[in-house]
Amino acid sequence: MQTWAQITEDFHRNWPIYVAMPFVAALIGWVTKIVAIKMMFRPYTFKGIGPLGWQGIIPKRAPQMVTILCETLTPRLVNAKEIAERIDAAELAALIDRPLRAEVARITRKVLAEYQPTLWGLLPSVAQDFLIERVQRSAPDAVVALVDGVVDRIDDIFDLQTMATKEFLDDPTTLESMFRDVGRREFAFIRRSGLVFGFFIGLVQVAVWALTHNPWVMPLFGLFTGWFTDWAALRLIFYPREPKKYLGFIKWQGLFQQHRVPVAREYGSLIATRVLTPDRLLRGICGGEDTSGVVKVVAEVLEAELREEIGDLNRYVDVDLRDLPLFRELDFGKLQIAGVSPGKVLGGFLDVLSGPTKGIASVGLDLTQVEPMCTAFAEEAVRVLPDLMLGSAERYLTDTLDIEGTMSEKMAAMTPEEFEGVLRPAFRADEKTLIAVGALLGFMVGELQVVLVEHLTH
């Protein structure tokens, strides 16, 4: 222990060293925070030799973090049925009417030629065209029935949580952006707090060094600075959850809780633009790993529409084709082609088909193929629906689903404990390791200080 006189003399002789100590400690606090933040995100893959190495916490823990996030995301913030019910089926059908008609014509020709080849081959082209036109006219009603059917059974045919999890894992930059962008205020605070805490710890270090000149002072204070500044910064970000007063006049609340309104808005924006977009939602429903559920719904709707058009298929065994609603409504009026009325041509054609044997079965309508025909039509329709809807109704879907507004509103209404769960997983994973790395870096810088001090004082 040095006397006051020795301390004064040493200070006058080595005052630059004493003045530098708190600034070096501040630098230790700042650098260790930057390193800690970098270590959260980088490297993407493990770098090292054998078991000694490092992989960024977020890339390493991505599956666990995504699971926690998506459990918070759905159904607490976004419920598939609640969102789907916002769609006005009639308005959606009107928006996609033109591209819908084109796809209906293409799919109808393809499916009828494959599943009803006899009947389709017997029909003259003009009758085929009118048949397709009739199907096109009924398409908007089918879309309304389809949307209603999907909405009613959305929870059975679509797993929103699984879809969100897949989107996060397929694009690692989305998860990184979520933590980096939403938590940017907190990361900035961590860096600044390292400077402030480090400086004040450095002032204590000055006093201890002046009294002892013990070579262990600097590395131990460096270790303490690296450890304490990491620990304190993480605590101050999340705690206390509610505002509290300390020493009677210092009021503090965890920064993440203080910023919950802008955080909720930014989080909602990120999810709405990077994860739960209309494009990804539609492709998740119609183009996921298992589309059998939605195909079944569409097939059921199509079969119901078909039965409504021509009645109970099983009754049509011995009827005149002129009596079918489908053909009864084919009115060519006074149209003449090369001096011949298409109405007469079709009438004669139906007379032939309804001749001695009569009946749909006798002219090639295979009743056993109705169900597989509807399924084939449904599979083709489900395949093209995302592009069809996005081409004409993407803006409508974005505004109507309002994922961003819904999430922002619900997040702002979460309890402090629930809200903390949005960002906390990134810090909780390997939190002790981060603090330990900060302490180790501080110790190493402190040891370097000792070498420099001894060199300068001698």
pLDDT of residue 122 exceeding 90: no
Q: Give the residue, 327 or 198, on which the prediction is more confident.
A: 198
DSSP 340: B
Mean pLDDT of 399-413: 86
Residue 346: the pLDDT is 46
Going by pLDDT thresholds of 50, 70 and 90, the confidence category of residue 356 is very low
| Helix, strand, coil percent content, the chain, rounded in steps of 5 | 80, 5, 20
Q: Give the residue, 8 or 342, on which the prediction is more confident.
A: 8
Encoded amino acid at 100, one letter: L
- Most trustworthy range by pLDDT among 165-169, 366-370, 379-383, 412-416: 379-383
Is the omega angle on the peptide bond into residue 43 within 30 degrees of 0, that is, cis?
yes
What span, in angstroms and rounded, lies between the C-alpha atoms of 248 and 221?
30
What span, in angstroms and rounded, lies between the C-alpha atoms of 69 and 271?
11
Going by pLDDT thresholds of 50, 70 and 90, the confidence category of residue 358 is very low
pLDDT of residue 234 exceeding 80: no
**pLDDT of 32-60, one tens digit each?**
778 877 887 888 888 888 778 888 877 88
Residue 354: the pLDDT is 43
Direct distance between the N- and C-terminal alpha carbons of the chain, in angstroms, rounded to an integer: 20
pTM: 0.68
Q: Give the residue, 219 or 247, on which the prediction is more confident.
A: 219
What span, in angstroms and rounded, lies between the C-alpha atoms of 238 and 218?
30
**157 CB-side CA count, 13 A:** 25
Q: Report percent pLDDT > 90 for the chain.
A: 5
**pLDDT of 61-70, one tens digit each?**
778 777 777 7
Mean pLDDT of 83-94: 90
What span, in angstroms and rounded, lies between the C-alpha atoms of 279 and 50?
43
Residue 188: the pLDDT is 84
pLDDT of residue 102 exceeding 80: yes
Residue 364: the pLDDT is 53
Residue 425: the pLDDT is 63
CB-CB contact of 21 with 202 (8 Å):
yes
pLDDT of residue 338 exceeding 50: no
Residue 110: the pLDDT is 92
How does DSSP assign 101-136, residue by residue? HHHHHHHHHHHHHHHSHHHHHHS-HHHHHHHHHHHH
**pLDDT of 236-289, one tens digit each?**
877 888 888 877 777 888 887 888 888 888 888 888 888 888 888 888 888 766
CB-CB contact of 241 with 60 (8 Å):
no
- Would you call 337 helix, strand, or coil by DSSP? strand
Residue ranges per structural domain of the chain:
4-68+174-267+413-457, 87-158+292-403
CB-CB contact of 251 with 391 (8 Å):
no
* Torsion sign across C-alpha atoms 160, 165, 167, 170: negative
Residue 126: the pLDDT is 80
Strands 52-54 and 244-246: unpaired
Residue with tokens 């997040």: 411
Residue 359 parent element (H or E) = none
Going by pLDDT thresholds of 50, 70 and 90, the confidence category of residue 91 is very high
What's the token pair of residue 82?
Answer: 């609640």
pLDDT of residue 106 exceeding 90: yes
* Of 1-15, 19-33, 329-343, the least confident: 329-343
Residue 156: the pLDDT is 83
* Of 257-266, 286-295, 354-363, 428-437, the least confident: 354-363
pLDDT of residue 172 exceeding 80: no
Going by pLDDT thresholds of 50, 70 and 90, the confidence category of residue 457 is low
Is residue 243 packed enough to be buried (19+ CB in 10 Å), middle (13-18) or exposed (0-12)?
exposed
How does DSSP assign 305-333, residue by residue? HHHHHH--GGGTTS--GGGSHHHHT---T
Q: Report percent pLDDT > 70 for the chain.
A: 81
CB-CB contact of 431 with 312 (8 Å):
no
* Of 73-77, 104-108, 313-317, 387-391, the least confident: 313-317
